[in-house]
Amino acid sequence: MYEYQATIKLHDTDAAGLLFFSNQFKYAHEAYEALLESVGVGFATLIREKSYFLPIVHAESDYKKPLFVGDKIKIQVVVDKIGTTSFSFVYKIFNQKKELAGTAKTVHVTIDKKSKAKIPLPPDMRKAIEKLKG
């Protein structure tokens, strides 16, 4: 499991100061980017050095409680599945009262940077993700 903390910003809310629904994915993706960075395969490394990409091919989200501008949130990222060519993460978003405010899930597939064809998950990436599984 990986934990990420953030603060809900004004530009991520609607006129009532509530987190705009699609921005739950933005915060999940921020947690995903920080997770990759923490295991040494951040986006700068992926883009500049690796021969593969990890696009999201499926995303889903549920909203449990409202989040307001200024709220401090914690996002737990859990490895859901690791397959031959793909992996998935589940995100649990907690409000400052430590209540579950939302969940999300993303499924990523490994593709070759040049051909865009699906390829097996590279050993370095598999090892990094497996470390998080516990």
pLDDT band at 86 (very low <50, low <70, confident <90, very high): very high
Confidence grade of residue 65 (pLDDT, cut at 50, 70, 90): very high
Average pLDDT, the chain: 94
Amino acid at 64: K
**Percent of all residues in the chain with a pLDDT value above 90, rounded to a whole number:** 83
Distance in angstroms (rounded) separating the CA atoms of residues 118 and 18:
38
- Summarised one tens digit per residue, pLDDT across range 11-52 is 999 988 889 889 999 999 999 999 999 988 888 988 899 999
DSSP string, 39-101: TT--HHHHHHH-SEE--EEEEEEEE-S--BTT-EEEEEEEEEEE-SSEEEEEEEEE-TTS-EE
pLDDT tens digit sequence for 90-110: 999 999 999 999 999 999 999
Select the CATH number that applies to the domain covering 2-133 from these four: 3.40.50.720, 3.10.129.10, 3.30.930.10, 3.30.565.10: 3.10.129.10
Q: What percent of the chain has pLDDT over 70?
A: 99
Tokens (6 digits) for 6: 């953030």
Q: Are 99 and 65 in contact (CB under 8 A)?
A: yes
- Residue 134: per-residue pLDDT: 64
φ/ψ region of 65 (left if φ > 0, alpha if ψ in -120 to 50, else beta) reads: beta
Res 64: pLDDT: 94
Asked if 81 and 88 count as a contact pair (C-beta separation under 8 A), the reply is yes
Q: Residue 55: how many CB atoms within 10 A of its CB?
A: 10
Phi-psi region at 29: left, alpha or beta (left = phi > 0; alpha = psi -120 to 50): alpha
The residue extents of the domains of the chain are 2-133
Residues marked active site are found at 14
| Cα 70 to Cα 7, 12, 23, 92, distances in angstroms | 6, 10, 14, 19
Q: What is the reported pTM? A: 0.92
